[in-house]
Amino acid sequence: MREPIGVMGAGWVGLVTGACFADLGHDVIIRDVDAVRIAELEAGRVPIHEPGLGELLGRNRDRLRFTTNSTELFERAGLVFVCVGTPPTYSGDADLSAVWQVVDELPSARDRLALVMKSTVPPGTGVAVRARLDARGLSHIAYVSNPEFLAEGTAITNFMQADRVVVGSFRSAEGDRVALLLKELAAPIVRTDVTSAEMIKYASNAFLATKISFINEIANVCEEVGADVTSVAGGMGLDQRIGLHFLRAGVGYGGSCFPKDVAALKQLAGNSGYHFQLLTSVIEVNELQKRRVVGKLRKHLGSLRDRTVALLGLAFKPDTNDVREASSLVLASRLLAEGAHVKAWDPVAIEDARPHLAGVQLCEDLLEAVSEADAAVIVTEWNDLKALPRLEVRTAMKNPLIVDGRNLLDPETVRQAGFAYEGIGRPSSPVEGRLAPQPPELAGALARSLAEVPAG
Ligand SMILES: NC(=O)c1ccc[n+]([C@@H]2O[C@H](COP(=O)([O-])OP(=O)(O)OC[C@H]3O[C@@H](n4cnc5c(N)ncnc54)[C@H](O)[C@@H]3O)[C@@H](O)[C@H]2O)c1
């Protein structure tokens, strides 16, 4: 009988990894330190919003075991995939305490055990783990790096139909063992050393974040010169050397990966004495991009004091309830600081966002969120929001202004539906078209506020 696969961590990566391996016919044992989460999973409830995950866990229930007990996992599993969180520390470095906890729990008795690192860890971590294992007399325990590239919202497809699988090892036989298992995914397998595998993950995320900040700066210039960034991106992206992906201008990237991984790579370079200038700019552009909406609102409404702004979408992207580093959180706090009354809606992430949104009126219902609002801001491109420019929304709003932070809507359709429209990097409605009058004394404040907005 085949040994079960072990998974450490029941978050996005751990649950998707476990469910997919179970679906491929393996017995899987998933361990988390969070007893509430394990109890929920045992009761058949899925603690995260990830399309298809509930169904996959349900149909493979017989092959899945959930536990809080690491000894049980290490006794039964041969390959142990480490999928614990590696959040940022205050310094911007990766917090590896959960990874070290797993390493320190490893028993000495098991001889066929292999630790397979899926968590995103800074280059050099594998070397440090290997040294710690050797120092404990655990040279027989294999260590392999297998970074994960899935994206929330499409995680199962990304795992099952990966563009590539990266396997980094110290000894080729150890890499062979993991590659043999991952061959089932029918993706090209990149075999390399452990540090290069770790670097592939960081470099990939840093490159994608760079693409986003690049197109956001192009969008900001488009606004200055009267071009439409959606056409520009389309025209650029058809060049195969550039590609269409990650050229969508918007209110910046967020989520549990890009912000922390880009910051960690920048810090890692800095700790080694190298100033990673490009990444410093990528991060700064992203921070400023999240705030540009405030300038757009002021352009139409003047002072935001006592204005009501509806934030539509709180998750960092659609099809997830993850609000880590979401642009919505930054925007909400900027708007509150401007004296605005902030309402917010999301189809799945209200409860996840609640602890971060003191002072914001959270609404389960979209119409309730836009009711009496001076502006509605699309922060997450949820499908439901494609139907936003409709009569009942216009009637409910005090001032029908839509700020489309994700360029989700067709500007012309929105205008025809009777709304003023502001996108990102595309022609906007003239300010004269606003429905709420702006007192003349605000003109000076408006000029100052626009001057604060970074010009691409
Ligand atoms: N979420 C993504 O889209 C994504 C994609 C690729 C890579 N990654 C990387 O994968 C790793 C996991 O990410 P995630 O989003 O799944 O994190 P997550 O925060 O959703 O889940 C991590 C889980 O690990 C558990 N945990 C902590 N210490 C543990 C321990 N000692 N033993 C067992 N479980 C423990 C936590 O309780 C939590 O449930 C991170 O390094 C992340 O950067 C994430």
With a Cβ cut-off of 6 Å, ligand 1 is lined by: 8-14, 31-34, 37, 83-86, 98, 101-102, 119-120, 148, 150-152, 256-257
Ligand 1 atom closest to 256 (CA):
1
Position 431 scores a pLDDT of 59
Position 44 scores a pLDDT of 96
Mutation probe of ligand 1 site: the residue of 53, 69, 74, 83 with most atoms within 8 A of C-beta: 83
Q: Are 56 and 18 in contact (CB under 8 A)?
A: no
Catalytically active residues are 257
What's the CA-to-centroid distance between 354 and ligand 1, angstroms?
21
Q: What is the model's pTM?
A: 0.92
What's the CA-to-centroid distance between 100 and ligand 1, angstroms?
13
Q: Are 413 and 348 in contact (CB under 8 A)?
A: no
Residues of the chain with pLDDT under 70: 1, 430-456
What's the CA-to-centroid distance between 334 and ligand 1, angstroms?
29
Mutation probe of ligand 1 site: the residue of 38, 256, 320, 325 with most atoms within 8 A of C-beta: 256
Q: Are 321 and 352 in contact (CB under 8 A)?
A: yes
Position 439 scores a pLDDT of 37
Residue 374: both structure tokens together: 């001076």
Rounded CA-CA distance 91/89 in Å is: 5
Q: What is the pLDDT of residues 231-261, one digit of tens each?
A: 999 999 999 999 999 999 999 999 999 999 9
Distances (CA, A) of 14 to 84, 119, 122, 158: 7, 9, 19, 14
Ligand 1: residue whose CA is nearest its atom 5: 150
Residue 249, by phi and psi: left (phi above 0), alpha (psi -120 to 50) or beta?
Answer: beta
Position 58 scores a pLDDT of 97
Mutation probe of ligand 1 site: the residue of 31, 32, 70 with most atoms within 8 A of C-beta: 32
Name beta bridge partners: 158.
none
Residue 286: both structure tokens together: 């992203």
Position 1 scores a pLDDT of 60
Position 273 scores a pLDDT of 96
What's the CA-to-centroid distance between 120 and ligand 1, angstroms?
9
